[in-house]
Structure 1
Amino acid sequence: MARSPGFIKRPPRVDLRQRATILNSDGAVIEAVLLDLSSSGFKIQAVETLRIGEFVTLRVGRSSEMKAQIRWALGDQAGGVFINPVDQSELQ
């Protein structure tokens, strides 16, 4: 199926560049920077390589914990999808 001109597959992303932490499935806390975010996913830069398919908890500032799954990882960057949609206004 070809994409129609102007069709966007995912929700719009917002550039954030905010400090964050990732709690991985082993219970380790990993320092990171949340690069961008949409209601359904995010891109993050972490001090450790994250594992594709891993379920994690993302913490940003004083926001609540957001459950997610890592979908791709390349070097120090990774992308994930939220288990439940996120209200972007809480993080901006």
Structure 2
Amino acid sequence: EINGVKYLNITVENMNYSVWNLTLAKIIIVLPNQTKLEQILPANQITVNIGNTTIVLCAFNWSEYKGQTITVTVVSDEGIETPPYEYLIPAS
């Protein structure tokens, strides 16, 4: 939580066998009721080089979903999309 805003920390890894750097474009969060939230990232601001990781702070009030599972997908400008990652938000 920063200045009263809750965040979800998302770690993105560009595997060492990748053929190019990735420029992150958006993060998609699917809520338990299937509502889709999209956070568009600033153009050309977050690049993940081959073999590196980065952490993206995504504004998201996760406290409303304690004990529930959300799905997170990251999309790059290069057209690469992560497989949907299911995350169980701790109940406490």
TM-score by length of 2: 0.37
Q: Which has the higher contact order (CA 8 A, sep 6+)?
A: 2
Which structure dedicates a bigger proportion of its chain to strand? 1
TM-score by length of 1: 0.37
